[in-house]
A and B are shown apart, each in its own frame.
Chain A
Amino acid sequence: MITRLEDKELKRRSRRQLLKLAPVAALGVFAFPKVSDRLIAAGVRFGDWASGALFRSQHLAQTFSNTDVVPFEKFPYNGYDVLDPEVDLEKWTLTVEGDVQHPGEYKLAQIQALPKLNQNTRHVCVEGWDVVGAFGGTPISNFLTLVGANTGARFLEVECVDDYYESIDMASALHPQSLLCYEMYGQPLDRGHGAPLRLQMATKLGYKQAKYLDTIRVTNVLKPGRSGYWEDQGYSWFGGL
């Protein structure tokens, strides 16, 4: 639509319209590292909040047939530090703390006595790769029932023999595909994959699946600065799929 305007009038209207665009310049604050560091961390927190709201506690992740599972040799070993923290498998117990009726030390046999679930699910790494693996264990919810955990609490905190640590939201912990995993490919977990016990949750990214479990704590308040090894460095805390 062509209009005919005096030069002055055109300039005036252009200027007025240009000024209306000024709010976009607010994005310029991202150019300052001190401010942007906080803003992008807040952006991730907003995403975590949205992820929690989107999470459907009974929606199952896709499961696969045995023929779709990658061979065991092609399931990567991934660790943040060492692949074998030299856990004494004979003496190992799982410490249970926090908002539970029966805190204390639990033996692997007690966990294995709970109803077992085998599942072939996709393991997704934050780096971008994914593999379908075969896992066996008991749903975390079974174990929480055994120890008399208050499942109305908000979080599950875990600490590992290799000093790795994680925390997950209770809704994800109670998901039917969230396991205390002690088997992969029908064999007891090997040392590289987290023997004797690890988390394996089909609705979480790989870094949430802590290995070499040592302590589980049911809590409403996360230890400050201890929300997760990678999360404390900037990864998304929810880490949900």
Chain B
Amino acid sequence: MSNEEEKKQPDAPPDRAADAESGAVESTVAKREMVAAEPEPAQPIAKAEEPALVRAAYEHPLAIRITHWVAAISLFVLVASGLRIFRAFPSFGTKIPEKVLLDIPKSLTLGGWLGGALQWHFTFMWFFAVSGVVYVVYQVVSGHYRTMLFTLSDIPGVWPMARHYFFFGPKPAATGQYNPLQKLAYTSTILFGALALLTGIVLYKPVQFSWLAFLFGGFHLTRVWHFAAMCGFLAFIPGHLIMVVLHGWANFYSMLSGWKREPEYQE
């Protein structure tokens, strides 16, 4: 148990502060008590003056928060520059004849032209790849993945949660840090990320990674999968942002500070 999670003993005398981190708080408490009870400093007279305790949870370890934000920024850059790259050949068919599958407005893109977009893409792909690999390795090694990995036992909980979100059904009781629908969404993003990364490797080096190209059905089809991975993220992100807004500041702040005030779940 880290000292972040250690439960502070409100009744413990000030000199028994075991936790170095809480030293400052202990001393202010001590000072206040001395002022309030000058004649008999040793007596804990005023129970009412004990500060009220707040329920809190350390939800997101530092590695998760860093990789979350690096990946979020990278995704923004990769999607915007990727759409600019797609504009250069907005089709999955043949070059001759070429059909415009999707005309993406320039204003939604990054890089100014194909070469500029490629520079953004080829720079942030490294950030995205590294943050993704660090994230997955950390989740597995630390065991923290148990809070978010969607498993078979989560399946029955998906529909009640979807009914609550989309059809105003009753709110299912909170069971853990994340509900089954959240787990499904977060687990999906890992799959989208893995797909984006692997197909990206093929598009970048189709000859050196010809075996990987073969797995995705060849170079041409890999470009479709790469686009599909982006669509997966584009499906996830709006819902994710709406949920963050609906659940308020404490929820958002916890991805910055790790700590969530008054979490809605128990245990």
Residues of A within 8 A of B (CB): 1-10, 12-15, 17-18, 20-21, 23-24, 27, 30, 39-44, 46-47, 51, 54-56, 59, 61-62, 70, 73-76, 122, 124-131, 202-203, 230, 233-236, 240-241
CA distance A235 to B56 in the complex (A): 50
Cβ-closest 4 pairs across A and B: A43-B123, A234-B115, A14-B257, A40-B119
Minimum distance in angstroms from B176 CB to a CB of chain A: 11
CA distance A2 to B88 in the complex (A): 52
CA distance A35 to B123 in the complex (A): 13
A235 touches which one: B115, B253, B267 (CB < 8 A)? B115
Residues of B within 8 A of A (CB): 4-8, 10, 21-22, 24-25, 28, 51-58, 62, 65-66, 69-70, 73, 77, 85-86, 88-89, 91, 94-96, 98, 114-116, 118-120, 122-124, 126-127, 204-208, 210, 219-220, 223, 253, 256-259, 261, 263, 266-267
Beyond A13-B259, A17-B257, A128-B88, whether A4 also contacts B119 by CB under 8 A is no
Nearest opposing residue in chain B for A55, CB measure: B208
Tell whether, in the assembled complex, residue A17 and residue B258 are in contact, meaning their CB atoms are under 8 Å apart. Answer: yes
Tell whether, in the assembled complex, residue A3 and residue B7 are in contact, meaning their CB atoms are under 8 Å apart. Answer: yes
Residues in B neighbouring A59, C-beta threshold 8 A: 207-208, 210
CA distance A44 to B53 in the complex (A): 52
Tell whether, in the assembled complex, residue A129 and residue B89 are in contact, meaning their CB atoms are under 8 Å apart. Answer: yes
Residues in A neighbouring B220, C-beta threshold 8 A: 130
Tell whether, in the assembled complex, residue B207 and residue A2 are in contact, meaning their CB atoms are under 8 Å apart. Answer: no
Beyond A2-B267, A21-B256, A43-B119, whether A7 also contacts B52 by CB under 8 A is yes
CA distance A56 to B123 in the complex (A): 23
B219 touches which one: A73, A127, A130, A240 (CB < 8 A)? A130
CA distance A18 to B52 in the complex (A): 24
CA distance A27 to B85 in the complex (A): 22
Residues in A neighbouring B95, C-beta threshold 8 A: 74, 76, 125, 129, 131
Tell whether, in the assembled complex, residue A6 and residue B51 are in contact, meaning their CB atoms are under 8 Å apart. Answer: yes
Nearest opposing residue in chain B for A75, CB measure: B96
Minimum distance in angstroms from B185 CB to a CB of chain A: 22
Tell whether, in the assembled complex, residue B4 and residue A13 are in contact, meaning their CB atoms are under 8 Å apart. Answer: yes
Tell whether, in the assembled complex, residue A240 and residue B257 are in contact, meaning their CB atoms are under 8 Å apart. Answer: no
Tell whether, in the assembled complex, residue B257 and residue A15 are in contact, meaning their CB atoms are under 8 Å apart. Answer: yes
Residues in A neighbouring B54, C-beta threshold 8 A: 4-7, 10
CA distance A47 to B210 in the complex (A): 18
Residues in A neighbouring B120, C-beta threshold 8 A: 40
CA distance A126 to B56 in the complex (A): 51
A128 touches which one: B25, B73, B89, B123 (CB < 8 A)? B89
Tell whether, in the assembled complex, residue B25 and residue A8 are in contact, meaning their CB atoms are under 8 Å apart. Answer: yes
Tell whether, in the assembled complex, residue B119 and residue A41 are in contact, meaning their CB atoms are under 8 Å apart. Answer: yes
Beyond A12-B24, A76-B95, A76-B96, whether A46 also contacts B56 by CB under 8 A is no
CA distance A20 to B61 in the complex (A): 11
Minimum distance in angstroms from A127 CB to a CB of chain B: 4
CA distance A12 to B258 in the complex (A): 12
Nearest opposing residue in chain B for A73, CB measure: B96
Tell whether, in the assembled complex, residue B8 and residue A9 are in contact, meaning their CB atoms are under 8 Å apart. Answer: yes
Tell whether, in the assembled complex, residue B57 and residue A1 are in contact, meaning their CB atoms are under 8 Å apart. Answer: yes
Tell whether, in the assembled complex, residue A21 and residue B69 are in contact, meaning their CB atoms are under 8 Å apart. Answer: yes
Tell whether, in the assembled complex, residue A202 and residue B207 are in contact, meaning their CB atoms are under 8 Å apart. Answer: yes
Nearest opposing residue in chain B for A121, CB measure: B207
Nearest opposing residue in chain A for B265, CB measure: A2
Tell whether, in the assembled complex, residue A44 and residue B119 are in contact, meaning their CB atoms are under 8 Å apart. Answer: yes
Residues in A neighbouring B253, C-beta threshold 8 A: 14
Nearest opposing residue in chain A for B72, CB measure: A24
CA distance A215 to B119 in the complex (A): 29
A-B contact pairs, 10 of them (CB 8 A): A2-B56, A3-B58, A4-B56, A6-B51, A8-B25, A17-B257, A17-B258, A21-B66, A44-B118, A234-B116
Q: Which of A1, A8, A10 counts the most B-chain CB atoms under 10 A from its CB?
A: A1
Tell whether, in the assembled complex, residue A2 and residue B57 are in contact, meaning their CB atoms are under 8 Å apart. Answer: yes
Minimum distance in angstroms from A103 CB to a CB of chain B: 32
Residues in B neighbouring A73, C-beta threshold 8 A: 96
Beyond A7-B51, A9-B8, A41-B119, whether A124 also contacts B96 by CB under 8 A is no
CA distance A20 to B266 in the complex (A): 27
CA distance A5 to B5 in the complex (A): 9
